Structures are given as C-alpha cells and as structure tokens.
Structure 1
Amino acid sequence: MLKTAVKHPEVLAPAGTPEKLRIAIDYGADAVYIGGDAYGLRSRAGNFSFEEMAAGAKYAHERGAKVYVAANIVAHEQNLAGAGEFYRHVRDAGIDAVIVSDPSLIETAITEAPGLKVHLSTQASATNYETLNFWQHEGLERVVLAREVGIAEIKEMRQHTDVQIESFVHGAMCIGYSGRCVLSNHLSLRDANRGGCAQNCRWKYDLFDIPELGQKRELMGHNAEGKIEKFSMSAVDMSMIEHIPDLVDAGVDSLKIEGRMKTVHYVSTVANVYSTAVRSYCEDPEHYQLKQEWVDELWKVAQRELSTGFYYGTPNEDFQLFGKRRRLPHYAFVGEVLGYDDVTKQVTVQQRNNFGIGDQIEFYGPHFAHHTQIVKDLFNDENEPIERAPHAMEIVHFTCEQPVKPGDFLRAQSKL
C-alpha cells in the first residue's frame, strides 16, 4: 500500500543562550527548550532571565515555533519557596510549556500558574503507557520518555494513550537511569539532580580487584591496539538520524535533541539535519531515502561515537567509550556571515576560529544549503589585506564564489 504524507513530528532543539535560540529556529527547529535562573539541571548553561524568555518567545512565535522551559530538578525543601512566582513569570513571558519532573513542582505549576502547560521530564522515568495516562489525568499534555524505552515499547504506548510523546533522538547519554545519578554528589560535591553535574562518568578510572582486606591487584584494560588503558563509565552519544521512519511511524510527537551546553556549531548543524530529514520523510514517505550527506554532516560536530541507545535493545560494550576512537570529527566552526555584496562578491564574516588564505572553507545555512571553496584573499575591517584571521570575533572580508546570506556559518578542517 502506498504511503501518503504523514504527520510531521516536532523537531525540538536545545538553546542554552538567546543566540542559540535564534539559530536553532533559523536552522529548522520547530521548538526549542531553554533554562531559567532556577529549577533547571544545567546551572552552567547561559540560562535565560524572564526578559530574555519573553524576547525568545516572541522571536519563536513570529516564526511559528515554540519555546519550553526546563525546570526539572529533583527539589529539596529549600528549593520549593518561590516556585509559584517563578512559574507565573514563565507563563507571563509567553513560554509555551515547562518541563518538570518533581511532583511537588508539577502541582505548583498547575495550581499557581493556571494556563501554563506542563510536560513531564525524562528524569521522571516514564516507561509504560499506564504512567503516561496517569500524568495525562493529572493535567500534563506531554511526557518525555525515559531514555531506556525502545521503539517497540513506544508503539505499544501509542496504542493505549493519546498524550503527546516526546523522545530523545540525538546527543549525550547519561550513565545513570534517566539521568538520575549521584556520582557527581559523591566525587565532586555537586548535585547532578539539582543542576551541578560534573560528568564524573566521563573521567578515566583505575580498576582494582581486592579479594581480601589489604590485598589490591590492578585489573589492566586493553584497548583496540592492545595498549593498557584506564576504564570509564562513559556512554557513547545517541544518533537516530538513520531511523527517522521508525520514530515517526511509532507515533513520537516530538524528536528531542540533547545539548543546552553545546556550541552554536552543534545546534545549527543538528537542527538543520533532523529538520531536513523529518520534512523529507513526512512529505513523501513512499520515496524517502536516507542521505549519506545527513549522516556525514552530524559527524562534523560529533564529540563521541554514536549509537541508537536503547531503541533496539540493551546497549552492549560497543556503546561505551573505551579504546581508540572509531571515528573523529575533523571540522572547526570558524565564523558567521554578517553580509554579502552581490556586486563585489565580498562576504563579511565575524570570525570565531583562526582561518586564512589557502584554507578550504565550507559555508552552510538553513535548508541544508552548502558550498565549499578555497579562501583566495582576506581583508580586515579596515580593508587592509591580511594572511590570516587569528583574533576571535574580528570582522573580515573575502571573495565568496557563491551568494550566501547573513546567518550562514563557516566551518573548516579542524587542523586550523
């Protein structure tokens, strides 16, 4: 039977700063999630003031996008005071929903900020449709599934509930169940469940066998090259770009990208790829084909190896970081286009990383626009010829062989 166009799920991107919010939406995201000055799990992200929330919501709504605020800490007694006022400010700023895990904060949001929609955070570990129906009955419109849920389970959930389902499709995976981990508390005195995760699972560890008191024997791990290597508990990152049809057909309403701490290079690239792939499948599922260029594009911003997480079974040792990297990104973000002169073919760029004459530069923009060229000339903001642009955020000009637009980005081989 021929497939007709299918419902387009939301592509939900991270936005750790107002700049990243703008970029994520410009590069195709249907919605973004941000953090406020309280109640979020990323205390070191560029979290938003209420004024910045209002400005971000206005920018998004003018472009048909939505903004959600993550307020998903596990609250202790001292965290509860002022929550109602916080949620009312979020609502009045025009935010579309808050993402919450703590039942007391959920109740506060519903009762003290009427009209503010609430989404259940992945931290709440929703893994079955009975749980989804419970939270819908409590007044929530969406549940972000635990990252331990598989495709087959999502299909079953969809058959038994009509609450919105959101699921992570790309980004870092946590060694703790649904992100609930106490390693950081014990080893760094930073509470991971209240915004202070030190990512201790990414550290390297010696491993010892202690069969009896006073005895200690180091257990040697060997990497792929046979060399001794310390152990870690670090999971590889997730990427579901090769399985968009499975996600859409299973009934996922929102495809969530992890990474509020990530760079504008990451946010723009990943939002661009997933929005392009999702649009391609939903418009013509019968003739949809995964494009290798989408996969290759994601590897340009990858920090670790990539896997499908728990979607198709329990992860094995290949889903852990150990030994020689199987694949490395080779690109660096080098600048943003500020303007382009159609007559002189000169592009004006705000530099972000060192580049210069003779380097191969790749331009990329929204809707998967790309072209590559060699930098043949380079001028500073006083129009003086220079060989390289080594100073962060400096304004430079050079000849661009194809038209580009403000907001397009530049990347280059990371040897620079």
Structure 2
Amino acid sequence: MTKPELLVTPKSVEDIIPLAEAGATAVMIGEQRFGLRLAGEFLPGDIEKAVAAAHSAGIKVYVAVNAIFHNDKLEELTEYLAFLEKVKADAIVFGDPAVLMAAREAAPSIKLHWNTETTATNYFTCNYWGRKGASRAVLARELNMDAIIEMKEHAEVEIEVQVHGMTCMFQSKRSLLGNYYLYQGKSMKVEDRSGEGLFLHDKERENKYPIFEDENGTHIMSPNDICIIDELEEMIDAGVDSFKIDGVLKSSEYLLQTTKRYRMAIDLCIDDRDAYEDAKDQLLSELQELQPVNRPLDTGFFFKETVY
C-alpha cells in the first residue's frame, strides 16, 4: 500500500527542514501577489532558498498561484511562472485558468495542481482539468467521506484532501477590514494584516471567525479546525494521494507538533492497523491540547450530509 503524501504549509524558510524531519513529504509556499491564504510570505528569494532546502531534505515544494488574476497582472504572472520553472519548483497550485495558459509557455515542465477551494465536487470536473494538463485535484472541503472515496475511485488525477486546519468561508477582493478601520478613524498596517488576531464574533452561536486581509482582499475563516487524525483508514485504503495540514494563522511550533502526530498516524495506519486503532485516541487528545481555547477541533464535513 502506497503511503499518502503529507503536505504542510510552513510559515518561513526556517520551518522547512524541521518539518521534513518531523515527517512532511511536501510543503506548499507562496507570496501574496499570486497566492491566497498562505501560512507565510515567501518572496522570490525565499522561494529559491525554500526549494533548495526542501530538495536537500528529499521533499517536494509546491507554490501557490491560486489568486484571481486581472489583465494587468498577466505579464507579471508569466514572469513569475518562468521564475518558478528556473528554481525547479515541483508543482504550481492554481485555480484561475490563466495560470494554466501562462504555464504552457513559461513553465512547461512544472506539474499543475488544480485547486479552486470549493468547485472540486465531482470526478467529471477533476478529470476535465486533468485532461487540460493538471496532474492533481484538491477536493472541496465540503465533501463527506463517501463522496471523497467515490471521487478517488473514478479520478484520472491525483487527489488531495485537507485533513487538518482551518478553512476559508468567505473571500472578497475588497479591503473590508481597511475600510472598517478607516470608518472608525483608525489606521491599519498593510504589511501584516494577518497577524492582528481579529475575529467576527457570532454571539448567538458563540463562534469566533478569524478575519484578515492581504493583497488579495479580505478572508473570513472557519471557527473550528478540521482534524481527522483518528479517521484516516478509509482514505488510506482508497488510495488518496495527499493529506494536507493547512498552517494559515498557526505558529511554527503548532505546525511542527501537528506534523509529527500525523506522520505517526499515517505510518501506523499503513504498517500496523491494530496499533493505529490503539494509538489514535491518544494522538487526537494530544492535538486537542495544542489547540487555542477558542478553536475547537471537529471533523468538518467528513461525516455530515451536505444540505444545500
């Protein structure tokens, strides 16, 4: 049985070697100009260092180019993709078809991973993008386990599933936080709006939704973190290709400790299923101890019937 990739999103170049030692087999990085909801900001020089560090540790580097692009960004996008080809990034993560079109000329040797956050909900769509050139589809976070298994059975591309971390509930290209600050007569730092610890508070449900801005606008995130460290068997048996730990708004230490536990869970689940059954509750308990007080863990939509 093939082990799924363990993909983690680091905050900095310095995180990459420790994450590789903890068991990550791939990392996803990027910069705000081209990527959405990143764990850290990796400028071109950082990307070059990150690729070198990751490859020296024997793991892969994927670069997020999953923003929504307008005409005035296309030339810059093409140059960026050529740069990623030059530094030997292993894959480009994209949602906008403009990236696919530009990559055919500027970065023909780099693999493409299709990720639109919400629209990878059936295997016909995944296979459509596979036939256009993508080698992987990142499934929507709103799918339940049965749908994921069915998609893997029929997919012509690799399948990636997020198994841990927060998810995006809303994005606007408008500067909603900046405008709110302006309305109140306050200033807002443009450089690091993701580090201010801001929340939308739903008093009725007692939920706190993290909210932040970057160059791509305003993002509202889920009040809970997905965690299915104790429910990996079905996806491993189905052959899901990649498990992702999303590190957005997380500390480096949190990512390191979470990666260690998922590495143990994956290895046990494949090598000794009985040992995994014995250990998984303890692994879940250890992850719960890492959580901030206001961020409970749950299983997302994995075991829910989605109602539209």
User: Considering only CA atoms, is the larger Rg found in Structure 1 or Structure 2?
Assistant: 1
Deviation of residue 111 (structure 1)? 2.8
Compared with structure 1, are the counterparts of its residues 235 and 279 closer, same or farther at alpha carbon in structure 2 (3 Å cutoff)?
Answer: same
Quote the Cα distance in structure 1 between the aligned partners of 2:43 and 2:50.
10
Which is richer in helix?
Answer: 2
User: Out of 279, 282, 297, which is 1:293 matched to?
Assistant: 282
Is 1:63 the counterpart of 2:69 in the alignment? no
> TM-score scaled by structure 2?
0.82
Aligned to 1:123: 117
Which deviations, in whole Å up to 9, do the C-alpha atoms of 1:359-382 show, x marking residues without a partner? Answer: xxxxxxxxxxxxxxxxxxxxxxxx
User: Out of 294, 302, 307, which is 1:311 matched to?
Assistant: 302
Aligned to 1:3: none
Compared with structure 1, are the counterparts of its residues 236 and 101 closer, same or farther at alpha carbon in structure 2 (3 Å cutoff)?
Answer: same
Deviation of residue 27 (structure 1)? 1.1
Aligned to 1:300, the other structure's residue is in SS state helix
Quote the Cα distance in structure 2 between the aligned partners of 1:127 and 1:275.
27
Which deviations, in whole Å up to 9, do the C-alpha atoms of 1:74-105 show, x marking residues without a partner? Answer: 12233323111101111211210011111112
**What pairs up with 1:346-357 in 2 under 5 angstroms?**
none
> TM-score scaled by structure 1?
0.62
Deviation of residue 235 (structure 1)? 3.0
Aligned to 2:215: none
Q: Percent identity?
A: 32
Contact 2:265–2:276 (Cα < 8 Å) also in 1? no
Contact 1:67–1:95 (Cα < 8 Å) also in 2? yes
One-letter code of the match for 1:127?
Answer: T
Is 1:109 the counterpart of 2:131 in the alignment? no
Deviation of residue 123 (structure 1)? 2.5
Quote the Cα distance in structure 2 between the aligned partners of 1:160 and 1:205.
40
Deviation of residue 288 (structure 1)? 3.2
Contact 1:37–1:47 (Cα < 8 Å) also in 2? yes
Contact 2:166–2:248 (Cα < 8 Å) also in 1? no
Compared with structure 1, are the counterparts of its residues 46 and 172 closer, same or farther at alpha carbon in structure 2 (3 Å cutoff)?
Answer: closer
Quote the Cα distance in structure 1 between the aligned partners of 2:239 and 2:100.
25
One-letter code of the match for 1:146?
Answer: A
Deviation of residue 314 (structure 1)? 4.2
Aligned to 2:68, the other structure's residue is in SS state coil
Contact 2:11–2:252 (Cα < 8 Å) also in 1? no
Aligned to 1:280: 268
Deviation of residue 38 (structure 1)? 2.5
Aligned to 2:185: none
Aligned to 2:58, the other structure's residue is in SS state coil
Is 1:15 the counterpart of 2:10 in the alignment? yes
Compared with structure 1, are the counterparts of its residues 200 and 27 closer, same or farther at alpha carbon in structure 2 (3 Å cutoff)?
Answer: closer
One-letter code of the match for 1:297?
Answer: E
Which deviations, in whole Å up to 9, do the C-alpha atoms of 1:207-237 show, x marking residues without a partner? Answer: xxxxxxxxxxxxxx4x7xxxxx6x6565311
Which deviations, in whole Å up to 9, do the C-alpha atoms of 1:235-269 show, x marking residues without a partner? Answer: 31110111011221233110001114421111111
Q: Which runs of 5+ in 2 are unaligned?
A: 181-191, 210-221
Compared with structure 1, are the counterparts of its residues 283 and 305 closer, same or farther at alpha carbon in structure 2 (3 Å cutoff)?
Answer: same
Deviation of residue 133 (structure 1)? 0.5
Larger relative contact order (CA 8 Å, sep ≥ 6): 2
Could you list the structure 1 runs, at least 4 aligned residues long, displaced by more than 4 angstroms after superposition: 183-190, 195-201, 231-234
**What pairs up with 1:12-411 in 2 under 5 angstroms?**
12-36=7-31, 38-42=33-37, 46-123=40-117, 125-176=119-170, 181-182=171-172, 185-186=175-176, 188-189=178-179, 202-204=199-201, 221=204, 234-285=222-273, 288-291=276-279, 292-303=281-292, 304-314=295-305
Which deviations, in whole Å up to 9, do the C-alpha atoms of 1:23-53 show, x marking residues without a partner? Answer: 211211011111136201147x542233322
Aligned to 1:74, the other structure's residue is in SS state coil
Deviation of residue 200 (structure 1)? 10
Quote the Cα distance in structure 2 between the aligned partners of 1:188 and 1:310.
32
Compared with structure 1, are the counterparts of its residues 156 and 278 closer, same or farther at alpha carbon in structure 2 (3 Å cutoff)?
Answer: same
Compared with structure 1, are the counterparts of its residues 140 and 277 closer, same or farther at alpha carbon in structure 2 (3 Å cutoff)?
Answer: same
Structure 1 range deviating more: 113-122 or 54-63: 54-63
Contact 1:10–1:255 (Cα < 8 Å) also in 2? yes
Which deviations, in whole Å up to 9, do the C-alpha atoms of 1:130-175 show, x marking residues without a partner? Answer: 0111010001101111111111111111221231000100001232
